[in-house]
Amino acid sequence: MALIRTENVYKAFNDINVLTGVNITVEQGEVVCIIGPSGAGKSTFLRSIIHLEKITSGKLFVEEELFLHRDNNETIFQAEPVKFKKLQLEMGMVFQSFNLFPHKTALENIMLAPIHVKKIPRADAAVLARELLAKVGLADKADSFPSRLSGGQQQRLAIARALAMEPKIMLFDEPTSALDPELVGEVLNVMRQLAESGMTMLVVTHEMGFAREAADRVLFMSDGSVTEEGAPELIFSAPENQRTKQFLNSVLGV
């Protein structure tokens, strides 16, 4: 089953077209990585899927249900509010910046959404939070505030917080771009473990090694649209699109 599907998604900021007809499908259990140059629209596209950006036109499907349809900035269809929120909560998102609550401990950061959104009893939310901290290698940081954590630890905490809502698909928006180079690996390792566990993932990344190793499919975006897609071994070893070749040559020297 396709967990995410988009049809002809466009997004314009004033008169500037950022997305120009994006069509993708992410199947259950699939890891899809989106690569491409800065300004290609990758992050805007990811934010549009979860409705943090309102698309100009196109259709968004979640779990094969029509989530949103817009045309020329007019909403043609939107799932009724309860259903819309339910479908939105099927998607967890990890941002470039960690967006943690600085006045809450690591444990409390994870517990907040389950308690207030899913109405889980506080004791149960604490148990879940400790399990997730252990899962991302932060079992000993439950009582630490974000300011006491390294950037890599903060991003792993952000991943645990997103997982606390038990999403069916995880969206990652360049999750390592704000990290010092020596901290990137610890976040990518957690993401690899998620991929190996069968979590469906859509990842915007500039980490070519991760895309090559962990992805089932790689999408190359340029100028607001997907211009090439395929298995990692094909995209990285024998790209067909000239723009893809130029990009890979610039970042990998191949």
Q: What is the pLDDT of residues 236-246, one digit of tens each?
A: 999 999 999 99
Whether 23 has a pLDDT exceeding 90, the answer reads yes
Q: What is the pLDDT of residues 69-125, one digit of tens each?
A: 999 999 999 999 999 999 999 999 999 999 999 999 999 999 999 999 999 999 999
What percent of the chain is predicted at pLDDT more than 70?
100
pTM: 0.95
Q: CB neighbours of 94 closer than 8 A, spacing ≥ 6?
A: 155, 158, 159, 162, 170, 171, 172, 173, 175
What is the pLDDT averaged over residues 130-140? 98
Whether 253 has a pLDDT exceeding 90, the answer reads no
Considering the chain, what is the average pLDDT of its residues?
96
Q: What is the pLDDT of residues 136-194, one digit of tens each?
A: 999 999 999 999 999 999 999 999 999 999 999 999 999 999 899 999 999 999 999 99
Give the residue from 17, 1, 19, 10 showing the smallest Cα distance to 68: 10
What percent of the chain is predicted at pLDDT more than 90?
97
Whether 254 has a pLDDT exceeding 80, the answer reads no
Contact 8, 59 (CB under 8 A): yes
Q: For the chain, give me the number of helices (H) and strands (E)?
A: 9, 11
